[in-house]
Structure 1
């Protein structure tokens, strides 16, 4: 299995794993997390994975991001399977594109011309980072292009670039020593423009080594606002902290609560760039909804 495909499978695993925890009460979830009891099968994945699959197949066909074709593919997937828990703004964006509107005018008109700063462009992009791991600048540029198709706001774009670069760095350190979390996060931040996402990553890099997940989630946010600045720094802090341990990274990311399917998807997609999939228990794969045929 190729490294980008491993990243896609891990992303889908994190997505489905995290989403399953929305279906229990807070007290029950806390007790089961403490005892590390996984949720019963089946674990269905959400729009995070649906859009990541579209992006991966797009790269397989074109070798790079062709925004017009990618926009059409996202809209077609949404039209076929609208029940994958897409966010409210994405219902509007993808319906408009499917109805023939130009994606540029649609995305740039959202939220009074600011565009969406949601975490949707970041949640799907880890496999792209693995795809372009040989060239960090190219990974950043391709992530930017993939983000703009649905998210016009600079923060959403920065979030996607951050996740792509982080995954590329994880791939590049396969077989060698893992970078220190602070160094990893600082390097990712160095590829971003001035933004709240960049600032959040630099704050994450300065958190002491023994920082608890709960404290990190309070300082950085864990997706409760469904925004890129509120999601990406925490997910990448978790990835950097447990870069050698894929199942542990997923469990620890879950401890931040918040937008659990998305934070777990981002973290898992990044970490698998370094670890591959061999650490994942077979029962997890048996519980997770399969990806579409051929993947």
Structure 2
């Protein structure tokens, strides 16, 4: 597919809303991430809905890589893997201290030099199995919002975006699931069963199917126990709980983020996923100004 040959059903405003929510969730979640180890009262503070007091909420690699996805879409109207590999590599080179995982620290410097070798370099990770982590899922919500009018295109483009860094089928399935959830969110149709149905057969899909059976009245910590909270840094341990949280609060970003934070685990990533899904439709207009002013600013043009 090329923009010249096929009209692309792009929705830039929804994609930008998704990015805003993703970055807010990322920065909000990162405030809590180290505290579960160092401050035992963190969970009580989350339950009491006490806003993190740090004056500056910095975002992490979740947002840095989502910016790369959106830049490629904005320039080409589609995912072009070589160009996306280069965008990721340039983002890492500019600021490698954003919290990238070990696999990305291995991969992205090599892609900076040889972006055209992304297929073989990505497959070399983790003893040739490729990454099944949550990185492809954490950055993909704006893509789902961009292509939301065509769910088959959402899945196709999500796969292309994932394979640049995540060759393992589970990493790819996680990206398809989150992109689909974001697309459905824009359409006002976010539904766990629909997301599961659109996800390729995988442990991610199995987890989403399990999430369908978890009532929204369930305490978030219990849902996280059942579905995973990202602590294992795997797509199947991250995506089902995040999509459950988003579906629990499909039109209200702030409660969605608090609910997600109650699950502990990899909080910046789960909150980034939830923020990207929910804000794709709801935006950040109802978010307290205090939160938005503390969150690190995004580049003006993505």
After TM superposition, is the score higher than 0.5? yes
Are 2:42 and 1:29 aligned? yes
Question: Aligned residue for 1:172?
Answer: 187
Question: Aligned residue for 2:133?
Answer: 118
Question: Aligned residue for 1:152?
Answer: 167
User: Which whole-Å CA distance do the structure 2 matches of 1:241 and 1:151 have between them?
Assistant: 28
User: Which whole-Å CA distance do the structure 2 matches of 1:221 and 1:209 have between them?
Assistant: 16
Correspondence list, 1:1-295, <5 A: 2-24=13-35, 25-40=38-53, 41-100=55-114, 102-173=117-188, 184-295=191-302
Q: Following TM superposition, by how much is the alpha carbon of 1:10 offset from its aligned partner in structure 2, in angstroms?
A: 0.5
- Partner SS state of residue 126, structure 2: helix
TM-score for the superposition, normalised by structure 2 = 0.92
- Partner SS state of residue 157, structure 1: helix
**2:251–2:282: 8 Å Cα contact kept in structure 1?**
yes
The CA RMSD over aligned residues, in Å, is 1.3
Listed as ranges, the gaps of 5+ residues in structure 1 are none
What is the aligned residue count?
287
Q: Following TM superposition, by how much is the alpha carbon of 1:279 offset from its aligned partner in structure 2, in angstroms?
A: 1.1
User: Which whole-Å CA distance do the structure 1 matches of 2:72 and 2:124 have between them?
Assistant: 25
Cα 1:207–1:31 shift into 2, 3 Å? closer
Q: Following TM superposition, by how much is the alpha carbon of 1:197 offset from its aligned partner in structure 2, in angstroms?
A: 0.3
User: Which whole-Å CA distance do the structure 1 matches of 2:59 and 2:95 have between them?
Assistant: 12
Q: Deviations over 1:214-266 (max 9, x none)?
A: 11100100000011000000000000011121100001000001000000000
Q: Following TM superposition, by how much is the alpha carbon of 1:113 offset from its aligned partner in structure 2, in angstroms?
A: 1.4
User: Which whole-Å CA distance do the structure 2 matches of 1:215 and 1:8 have between them?
Assistant: 28
Q: Deviations over 1:36-55 (max 9, x none)?
A: 11112200000000000111
Q: Deviations over 1:170-223 (max 9, x none)?
A: 0011xxxx66xxxx1111111122100000000000112421101110010000
- Partner SS state of residue 236, structure 1: helix
Could you list the structure 1 runs, at least 4 aligned residues long, displaced by more than 2 angstroms after superposition: 22-26
User: Which whole-Å CA distance do the structure 1 matches of 2:208 and 2:234 have between them?
Assistant: 14
- Partner SS state of residue 110, structure 1: coil
User: Which whole-Å CA distance do the structure 1 matches of 2:182 and 2:176 have between them?
Assistant: 10
Q: Deviations over 1:109-142 (max 9, x none)?
A: 1112110000000000000000000000000110
Q: Deviations over 1:8-51 (max 9, x none)?
A: 00000000000011243342312321221111220000000000
User: Which whole-Å CA distance do the structure 2 matches of 1:291 and 1:64 have between them?
Assistant: 22
Listed as ranges, the gaps of 5+ residues in structure 2 are 1-11
